[in-house]
Structure 1
C-alpha cells in the first residue's frame, strides 16, 4: 500500500472512508461509532470499521453490519500497541501485555540464542495470544561460547538470563579470536533463522566487549539489512557516558549503512540523545530510540553498573533509597546488596534513577517508541490463565506501561495522535522500512491492513500496577483484537490464540564471514603500516 502521510485531507478521507455495498453485510466483525485514529495518515474521526478474514476491509461513516458488532461510542479505535522491548515472552507475560493493549511483542535487547531461534518460534506457533518476535542475542552468544551456557532453558528466550547470569564470563571476559568468531557465527544463525535483528546488552558487558567486537556484532546484522538494538555501553551512567554509548551504536550503524535502535535512552543525557536521533532521521537514516514512562528501571542485582564502586563512589547514589526488591518491598543496604549478589546474583531488582517529572516529558518526544522493557514475574513459566494475584513482584511496567502512557497523556494533555504514534505506528514504520512485512501491515488503521486493533475508553483506560504490586493488570480496555480475533473483551482475556510470528523468512545459507586476526586485534596494534612514500607528518626543519 502506498504511503499516504503527505496526502491532502480530502484525499485521506476519500481513501480511508470506503466501503463496497457488495460486502455491506459480509464482515466478520464491525466496530461502530468509535473515534478512529490512524497515526500514519493523521486520520482522526468518528467512523465504522469492518473486518474480514483478519484484515480491515472497510472504514466508513455509513452504517456497517456483520456477524459480530461492537459499539465503540466514546472509545478510541486505534492500531494495536507494538512493543520492541518485551522480555516476558511467555504465556502469562503475553496475558499481562494483552490486557494492557499489547498486540505485537518483540525483544530487541536480551533476545534469543541463535541456535534456538527456530525452536523458539516453533514453540509459540498456534498457542500464543499475541504476535511474537525475538532478536538474536549478543549476550547469550557470549554466554554459550565463553561460559559454556546451554540447555533446554535456552528455549525460553530472554528469560534464559535467569540461568546464564549466574556466571560472569559473558560480561567480563574479552574473547579470543576463535571465541569472537564463534560469537558472531551464533548471531548469524539467529538471523538466518529469521530473527528481525540483533539485540545487545553491551551496557552490562562494558569491560568484556571491545569496540571492535561491537562493530563486528552490528556488521553481522548489517549483512542482512537488519537493526541492532542495544542497551548501550555506559548505561547506567552520567550524561556524558550515556551519550558516548549511544554514539558508539549510532556511529557503527552509519558506517555500516545499517538501522539501529537506541534502547530505553530515558536516562541522564536523554535530551541530547533525542536530538541526535531526530537529526539523523531528518537526514533519512533509519535510527530510532525507545522510552518508557517510569522514573525507575529494573535489572538483575549483579549488573556491572550497580557495584559500589560505580553506584556509590562514582554516581553518588545510595542503595537505601534507590534499589528496591519488588518481591519483599524493601530497599537494599550495602550489606544486603553484597549478601544477595553472593547468594542470588540474578535476582531482579527495581532501581530508581530519574526525576518523576520526566515521565510525561518522554511521552511528548517525536520519532521514538514507547517500549516497556517488561520483565518476568515468578512463576514466569505459568500458563496464560494463571491467577495474576498469585504472580510474584515485578516492575509495574510489565503490566501497565501502556496504561501508564495513556494516563499520563490524559493528565498532561498530550495529544492522542502522539500517544498512538509512540505506542504503535513508529515501531511499525521503522521495522517495516527494513522489509519486515509483518510490520508493514500493522500499526495502522487503513483498509488492507492486518486487523490488530485496540478499543478503549480514553477517560478510563489506566494502569493499576505499582512498585509494591507490579502484576496488577490495566483496566478500561473494551477490546483487543489480534489478527481479526477478539482476544480481550471488557478487560477479560479470552482463550483465543491468534498470535502470528514477527520474523523474516528463514534463509538456506548463512551470511557469516569470519573476522581476520588483524582486524580482531586492531585495537591493540601500534598503528597501520605507513605508505612507502611517507615523508613525515610535520614540515622538515629548514636549516639557515
Structure 2
C-alpha cells in the first residue's frame, strides 16, 4: 500500500504544472557596475517585464538564469554618434552593435532618411517591423535648407528661412532630439552661423540639441568650437560636438588641450556643451572632401563637371597644397599629405585592387599625380561616394579628450548584420566593429587612461543623462533593462584597419528591454528595441 501511495504521489507531482518563475531573467553573482561611475558590487540582477526589478540578493527564480560569476554586469552601451538612420531598416538585427555591447543608438549627423513630415511614420514602421536595439535621432539642418534651396550655395531669403523653421518644428514634434550639422560637407558648409541660430531656437523651445560635425577639425578647430558655442548660447540649445578630435598633424599636442580649455570655459559660464569621440587615429569619409567647397557651390552635378576640367584641377591642386580656406577644411594637409590618405571604398573595378593603399602609393603605381588619382576615383565611383581613411590624429590627443568627464563615446558608423569578410562595398572603418570594447581593452586594461568604472559611465550613465533618457543607462531598480555581461580578461576589440570586419570577444550576453538579444555568445534574433522619442510639446501652429 505504501508503495502504491508513493507511486501515485510521484505521478501527481510530475503532472502538476511547474511553479511560475518570479522573474524573466536573473543574472547571478556578477560584479555589478551601475553605470554611474561607482565601484562594482557583487550582486544578482533580476529582470521582469522589461525592467530591472531587483539588485542585490535575489532569492526568487528566473525563467532564464545567467551565471555571471567572475564576470561584470553593466548597463548596455549608448552609441552617441550612430549612422544607422537608413541602414537599420535593412540591418534591423544590428549585430555589429550588439556584439560591442551597444543597446541604444543616437543617429542623425546627416539627418533622417525621410522628410520632416514623414518622421513619425518612419519611427512607427521601425517599431512595427522590429529592431534589435533602441534608436533615436536628430534632424539635419541641411535637410530643411535643401527643401527650399537645393544643394547650391547662397543665403536664404526670409521666406525660405521661415519654411526651414517650420520643417525643424515638424521634426521636433515627431520626437527627434534636435538639429544636426556636418559643416565640412557641401551643401551644409554653405549654412551660416546666423541661419543655424534661427533653426536652433526652434529646437531650443523643446529643450533640444544643436549637435555638430564642426566646420573645421584641423588648424581652425578653435574658431569652429567657438562658432558651435555661439549657436548654442544664442539658440538656447544644448551643444554636442561630434567626434572631438585635433585632426591636424602640425598641431598635435597643442590644439586638443586648447579645445578642452575652450569647452571647459564655456561650461563654467553655463553653456551646456559636451562632446563624443571614437578612439582611433584615423577618420573616415568621402574622397570628395579633398577639393575646396567652391567646387560644389553650384550643386553636385556642376561640381563633378568641374572635376573633369584640367584647368579647374590645376587651380584646386594649388589650393590643396596651400592649406585650408575660410569655408573648407583641407584634410589632405591635416593628414600630413597623400601618404596618409588611404583608399577605403572605390566602387570601381578599376581601383578595387588598391583599396587599403595610400593615394600616394596608387599614384606611384599608376604614374599619376596623387590628386588626379583621388579625383579620378571620385568620378569613377559615381553615383556612389568613394571613401578614404584619413590618418590625422595622435594617440596623445585621444587620451587627453578621453580623460574629460564630459566626453562620451560614438562610433560614427552604421549598424550591420554582416560579420564576415567584405562584400565589394569597400573597407569598413574598424570603429564600426570595435569602438566600444576598444575603450576598455586599450584605454582601461592596456594604457590605464581610464578606470573601468569611468569607462562604463562614459558609455552608459553619462550619455543617458545627457540625452534625457531618465529610465536607461543605470543598473537600478525600475530602470529599463538594457544590460550586458562581459568577461574583462577576455574583452578585446579584434577589428583593425587591415581586417576591419571582426567581432570583439568577451561580451557574451546582451539584453535589450529585458529580452536577450545575444545569449551565451549567440544572436537570438529577437527584436525588442524601441524608438527613443524626445518629448516636445510645440503646438502645431508654432515654429
Alignment TM class, shorter chain as reference: 0.7 to 0.9
Shift in Å, 1:341: 2.7
Matching residue of 1:209: 191
Matching residue of 2:460: 424
Matching residue of 1:353: 392
Shift in Å, 1:440: 0.5
Contact 1:204 1:304 in 2 (8 A): no
Aligned residue for 1:388, secondary structure, equals coil
What is the rounded CA distance, in whole Å, between the counterparts of 2:438 and 2:237 in structure 1?
Answer: 32
Matching residue of 1:123: 125
Contact 1:291 1:370 in 2 (8 A): yes
What is the rounded CA distance, in whole Å, between the counterparts of 1:358 and 1:129 in structure 2?
Answer: 34
Matching residue of 1:263: 242
Matching residue of 2:285: 299
What is the rounded CA distance, in whole Å, between the counterparts of 1:362 and 1:310 in structure 2?
Answer: 31
In structure 2, do the counterparts of structure 1 residues 139 and 343 end up closer, same or farther at CA, with 3 Å as the change threshold?
A: farther
Matching residue of 2:327: none
What is the rounded CA distance, in whole Å, between the counterparts of 1:143 and 1:174 in structure 2?
Answer: 12
Shift in Å, 1:320: 2.8
Which structure 1 segments of 5+ residues have no match?
1-22, 148-167, 433-438, 514-544
Matching residue of 2:72: 76
What is the rounded CA distance, in whole Å, between the counterparts of 2:210 and 2:538 in structure 1?
Answer: 22
Is 2:371 the partner of 1:334? yes
Matches within 5 A, 1:239-278: 241-268=220-247, 269-278=255-264
Please list the CA deviations of residues 9-58 of structure 1 after superposition, one character each: whole Å capped at 9, or x if unmatched: xxxxxxxxxxxxxx996111011111101132625211111111111111
In structure 2, do the counterparts of structure 1 residues 63 and 43 end up closer, same or farther at CA, with 3 Å as the change threshold?
A: farther
What is the rounded CA distance, in whole Å, between the counterparts of 1:468 and 1:406 in structure 2?
Answer: 21
Matching residue of 1:139: 142
Is 2:208 the partner of 1:226? yes
In structure 2, do the counterparts of structure 1 residues 350 and 308 end up closer, same or farther at CA, with 3 Å as the change threshold?
A: farther
Contact 2:212 2:240 in 1 (8 A): yes
Contact 2:106 2:135 in 1 (8 A): yes
What is the rounded CA distance, in whole Å, between the counterparts of 2:20 and 2:456 in structure 1?
Answer: 29
Aligned residue for 1:400, secondary structure, equals helix
Of 425, 436, 439, the residue aligned with 1:402 is 436
Contact 1:80 1:480 in 2 (8 A): yes
Shift in Å, 1:511: 6.0
Please list the CA deviations of residues 485-539 of structure 1 after superposition, one character each: whole Å capped at 9, or x if unmatched: 11012332221000011113575734654xxxxxxxxxxxxxxxxxxxxxxxxxx
What is the rounded CA distance, in whole Å, between the counterparts of 1:124 and 1:188 in structure 2?
Answer: 22
Shift in Å, 1:430: 1.4
What is the rounded CA distance, in whole Å, between the counterparts of 2:465 and 2:291 in structure 1?
Answer: 33
Please list the CA deviations of residues 367-392 of structure 1 after superposition, one character each: whole Å capped at 9, or x if unmatched: 1101111147xxx7xxx4x5633544
Matching residue of 2:513: 483
Matching residue of 2:401: 362
In structure 2, do the counterparts of structure 1 residues 356 and 506 end up closer, same or farther at CA, with 3 Å as the change threshold?
A: closer
Coordinate RMSD, CA, aligned:
2.6
